[in-house]
Amino acid sequence: MRFRKKKEQQPTTTCAEKSLLQLSYQSILRATNGFSMQNLVGSRSFGFVYKGVLEENGAFIAVKVFNLLNRGASRSFLAECEALKHIRHRNLVKVLTAISGFDYQGNDFKALVYEFMENGSLEDWLDRSTGMHELETTRKLNFFQRLNVAIDVAHALEYLHHHGETSIIHCDIKPSNILLDEEMVGHISDFGLAKIFFGDKLNNSTNQSSSLGLRGTVGYAPPEYGMGSELSTKGDVYIAMVSFCWRCLPEKGLPMKGSKKV
């Protein structure tokens, strides 16, 4: 059941079938006004996200710049690139290109460029004290909008788990990783902790055994992940349910804002 007019379903193709946008370090530096604080729209475990405008066509973009001084940031970049090249779905944030090279100081530089989501994250809308909409106190999600976003996330998970080239477990479906476009359609983002399965076998080329992401975010991840249990698609469903049930029923005392990854 849907409560918004449904767009015509787009064919699911992989990113490899589409030519990625060709951008350089210089072009995204200009697009984000030198990665200025005025363009900063969010932070992630391994870096920061900036809003940008491409000089070529005036299109808005989101640039996720990885802080490579953080342990696991390079591995997260590789894991996200590996996951994103296998997927394309209307409820997944679209990657435009990946950039790996050096900045003007000769330091390693890695970034991912996405389509910009005009309405920020679900976290922004559910926690009015933070996020890009903190001053717009009169705006909030009604029940049907929340239900629509939950359905969007369910569609994305069904695709990731069962209908893509490979089975992908996201591992971190929390409100800050659910982004909303101009029509309030939900999109899953941040595949830095994603695990890829070819058949029944985990792809270990980018997902080495470590503390990075095996248990996602404390307070959201299934308890069994903390005890060394194998990852499963059911874990993603659990995380999504925790996210939505907590936000709809905050008095239940489920995970608190500020929960950290382990």
Region at 226 (left for phi over 0; alpha for psi -120 to 50; beta for the rest): alpha
Residue 43 pairs in a beta bridge with: 48
Query: Alpha helix locations (H) across 89-196?
Result: 122-126, 143-158
Instruction: At 78, list the tokens.
Output: 């590789």
In DSSP notation, 32-53 reads TTTT-GGGEEEEETTEEEEEEE
Q: In angstroms, rounded to a whole number, what is the distance separating the alpha carbons of residues 72 and 213?
A: 10
Active site residue 152: no
Residue 22 pairs in a beta bridge with: none
Q: Please provide residue 56's backbone torsions phi and psi, each rounded to the nearest 5 degrees.
A: -65, -40
Q: In angstroms, rounded to a whole number, what is the distance separating the alpha carbons of residues 4 and 109?
A: 41
Residue from 124, 152, 172, 236 carrying the catalytic annotation: 172
Hey, which residues are catalytic here? 172
